[in-house]
Amino acid sequence: MIIREQDMKNETDIDIEQAADFLDLSPSRFSELLDKKLIRQNWDQYNNLFRFTNHISDIDTGSVLLDHNGSFELVKGFPKIRRAMLLEPAIQANFSDNSTVVVEEKMNGYNVRILNYKGKLIALTRSGHVCPYSTERAQNLLNKCFFEEYPDIVVYGEMAGPENPYVRKDIYEIDSLDFFVFDMRRKNDGGALPVSERRTLAEKYGFRQVEIFGEFSIPEAASKIKNIIKNLGDKGHEGVIIKDPNMVLQPIKYTSSESNCADLQHAFKFYNEAGRDYIFSRVVREGFQSAEWNESEEELMERCLRLGESILRPMRKSIEEVQDGARIADDSRIRVKDKKVIDEFKSYLERLGLDVVFSPAIKVGDEYIVDIKKINNSTSDKTLGIIKGQLWS
């Protein structure tokens, strides 16, 4: 039987008074948030975790309250990173109080937070769910000593690589999936460690980290980043995050044209489902980048071709596939050591409302590989309708 999260109720024995006091809310407000599912209880062995499904007071969406039988901890959600459309003025405007910025690679995978929970590492997704696959991977990838020695610190990073059920990317010379640290924050207040302190700690404990390209003075940063972005783009990599070395000011992000176009390519494969804002914002980025970099006619033509191809080719392919009787699906793969994680992960995805087909597990060495198909009915049905003569609207 498939259990869907939307049908579940909070059946909590959390001490409302104490939890409310910890969060600086009134008990009635806390109860109301539970009733309205703005704070939601996790299930099974993680039912002591409560996830914020909305921004409440100064607590971001995706934050998680841990209830240790009456004493509490808060793991803050990962804050939104705003985007520079033009590098030069955005850096000037956002970091005017600084003399330098640090530039790190923005890796393209999915965001997870790792912490020690009841003696085991767990991985929280951006929304604050405990993902069984990421949790199993984190347990195999990370040195637990760090979390025992620094119980107040949560490690934030990107899970990236081809064996990735959320954002499958084969651009990093990774065979399966790896975890790249990009942030460490204290529990409760969410304060971030300065970049150099975080990098030193990560190095000491043998964590892989996102690449650092350097620390640049404000006047030189935009032109340095332009070169970095061009090199990243050539490799199909995503872009950079520009950070205050002390991590007091909010970071900003900036991406390569190749990555914007790769997003469009994926979006147009599922043209009937992709959000209009998602698509539109990526096209607008191309306009600003081309203008800021004062491109020659030849460079502009290259950009036009890249952009156009990323829109048209995947759409035509989807249409032809449906004409040939297929249904459009998003394929991914996972690799686990512990076979029972496969079923746990499947029911987790179903609980979140996804329609997935898992292939039988294949044993490779001491691990199991499973192929996953996420069925996209919307684009398949729309295309089939049009093939049968349906009008667009």
Give residues 232-251 in contact with ligand ATP (rule: CB under 6 A).
241
User: What is the per-residue binding string for ligand ATP in 196-225, x denoting contact by CB under 6 A?
Assistant: --------------x---------------
Look-up of token digits 């007071």: 57
Helices (H), 235-296: 257-269, 276-292
78 binds ligand ATP (CB under 6 A): yes
What is the distance between the alpha carbons of residues 364 and 185, in angstroms, rounded to a whole number? 37
**Least separation in angstroms between CB 93 and ligand ATP:** 18
Window 178 to 197, contacts with ligand ATP (CB under 6 A): 182-183
Residue 318 near residue 383, CB atoms below 8 Å: yes
Smallest gap from residue 107 Cβ to ligand ATP (A):
4
CB 130 to ligand ATP: min, Å? 17
Q: Between residues 111 and 383, which has the closer beta carbon with respect to ligand ATP? A: 111
Residue of 186, 224, 253, 374 interacting with ligand ATP (CB under 6 A)? 253
Q: Which stretch binds ligand ATP (CB under 6 A): 99-107, 195-203, 324-332, 381-389?
A: 99-107
Q: Quick check: 348 and 2 in contact, CB under 8 A?
A: no
Q: Which is nearer to ligand ATP, 67 or 105 (CB)?
A: 105
CA nearest neighbour of 85 among 298, 306, 290, 301: 290
Q: Does 382 bind ligand ATP (CB under 6 A)?
A: no
Please work out the total of residues on this chain that contact ligand ATP, with binding judged by CB under 6 A: 14
**How far, CA to CA in Å, does 31 sit from each of 47, 129, 261, 352, 369?**
17, 21, 45, 24, 43
Taking Cα atoms as reference points, which of 299, 286, 277 lies closest to residue 256? 286
| Residue 284 φ/ψ, nearest 5 degrees | -65, -35
**Tokens representing residue 211 in the block:** 């690449």
Instruction: For residue 118, give both structure tokens.
Output: 């009841």
Token readout for 108 is: 């393209």
Site stretch for ligand ATP (CB under 6 A), options 9-17, 90-98, 102-110, 147-155: 102-110
At which residue do the structure tokens 């209880």 appear? 41
Give least dist CB 182 to ligand ATP, A.
3
Burial class (CB within 10 angstroms; exposed 0-12, middle 13-18, buried 19+) of 358: middle
Nearer to ligand ATP, 82 or 204 (CB): 82
Helix (H, G, I), strand (E, B) or coil at 339: coil
Name which of 119 and 275 has its Cβ closer to ligand ATP. 275
Q: Which window, 103-111, 116-124, 196-204, 324-332, contacts ligand ATP (CB under 6 A)? A: 103-111
Q: Which is nearer to ligand ATP, 163 or 183 (by Cβ)?
A: 183
Query: What is the signed CA dihedral for 29, 35, 37, 39, rounded to 10 degrees?
Result: 40
| Token output for 312 | 């048209």
Binding window for ligand ATP (CB under 6 A); candidates: 48-56, 98-106, 186-194, 321-329: 98-106
80 binds ligand ATP (CB under 6 A): yes
Nearest distance from C-beta of residue 159 to ligand ATP, angstroms? 9
According to the binding rule CB under 6 A, does residue 68 interact with ligand ATP?
Answer: no
C-alpha span between 13 and 171 (Å, rounded): 46
Q: Give the footprint of ligand ATP on residues 105-164 (CB under 6 A).
A: 105-107, 111, 158
Decide whether 137 or 382 has the Cβ nearer to ligand ATP. 137
In the complex, the smallest distance separating the C-beta of residue 293 from ligand ATP, rounded to whole angstroms, is 21
Token pair belonging to 375: 């069925």
CB 157 within 8 A of CB 179: yes
**Contact region for ligand ATP (CB under 6 A) — 43-51, 54-62, 74-82, 373-381?**
74-82
**CA-based Rg of the chain, rounded to a whole angstrom?**
22
* Residues at the contact surface with ligand ATP, assessed by CB under 6 A: 78, 80-81, 104-107, 111, 158, 182-183, 210, 241, 253
